[in-house]
Amino acid sequence: MDIHGATALVTGANRGIGRALAAELRRRGAKVYATARRPEAIDLDGVETLALDITDPAAVAAAARTAHDVDLLVNNAGIGGGLLLGDLAAVRATLEVNLWGTLSMARAFAPVLAANGGGAMLNIASSASWFVFPGSSAYAVSKAAVWSMGNALRQELAAQGTAVTSVHLGAADTDMTRGLDVPKVAPADVARRALDGVRDGAYEVVVDEFAAMVKESLSADPRDFERRFQQLLVDTASTPASVSASASASTSD
């Protein structure tokens, strides 16, 4: 897909990876609807701002009516989550945003994308689609769902010519990972890799070495990954994570 001249809508564009995606889209010559629960918090020039909580069906429907010229939907908004056996309301809240909110956006914008020639959908999943970071099992379940949803929607939207790209990364340097002492990718790097993937029609963008390692481990005995991950935690604890993760991108289609 040609990003230059595209019309994109980004959820959660007020900070973190969403803000970086909106900025990079503008830099590449796209028209951008930058959306957020508090649109006044969006500090980017040259974008159209919209109020959008993706868990609010009326707001999602209104966004699809207003942004009827969108041909690139960027599902970025997401929240963390705790333990599956912890507070059930918190588990539901995580799934409400990451799974149901994302699906709600996909359903509302599928006809918009069709009307605008097919276009593309970009979903920010995670390396947590493929493993469980200790303490974040609800988040892992939600991101596995986002990954699978991308694969499913790719099939369901193929007839209308909509490409679907899923993005997987370890840790990016945003509010979500504040306090986590691990190597982190810059949000701008995530945005660049993700949009290169959309440009190239990639099914999947694996942003950093950690996500690539997790993906590679899937074909082996899960115990091997567990051992490797535990060792990584030990190594990370003894090495300052001040150096940004080297973002070795890989895409597959």
Ligand X SMILES: NC(=O)c1ccc[n+]([C@@H]2O[C@H](COP(=O)([O-])OP(=O)(O)OC[C@H]3O[C@@H](n4cnc5c(N)ncnc54)[C@H](OP(=O)(O)O)[C@@H]3O)[C@@H](O)[C@H]2O)c1
Interface with ligand X (CB under 6 A): 11-12, 14-18, 36-38, 52-55, 76-79, 97, 101, 124, 126, 169, 171-172, 174-177
Residue nearer to ligand X on the CB measure, 178 or 223: 178
Considering the complex, what minimum distance in angstroms separates the CB of residue 158 from ligand X? 24
Question: How far apart, in whole angstroms, are the C-alpha atoms of residue 178 and residue 45?
Answer: 26
Question: How far apart, in whole angstroms, are the C-alpha atoms of residue 239 and residue 181?
Answer: 9
Residue nearer to ligand X on the CB measure, 18 or 119: 18
Buried-exposed string 72-102: b where 16+ CB fall within 10 A, e elsewhere: bbbbbbbbbbbebeeeeebbebbbbbbbbbb
Considering the complex, what minimum distance in angstroms separates the CB of residue 58 from ligand X? 13
Considering the complex, what minimum distance in angstroms separates the CB of residue 143 from ligand X? 7
**Residue 91 near residue 81 (C-beta atoms within 8 A):** yes
Please report, for residues 105, 106, 201, the alpha-carbon distance to residue 121 in angstroms, rounded to integers and kept in the order given: 10, 8, 10
Residue nearer to ligand X on the CB measure, 7 or 35: 35
Residue nearer to ligand X on the CB measure, 160 or 236: 236
Question: How far apart, in whole angstroms, are the C-alpha atoms of residue 54 and residue 76?
Answer: 10
> Is 203 among the catalytic positions?
no
**Catalytic one of 33, 133, 139, 229:** 139
Considering the complex, what minimum distance in angstroms separates the CB of residue 126 from ligand X? 4
Q: Which residues are catalytic?
A: 139
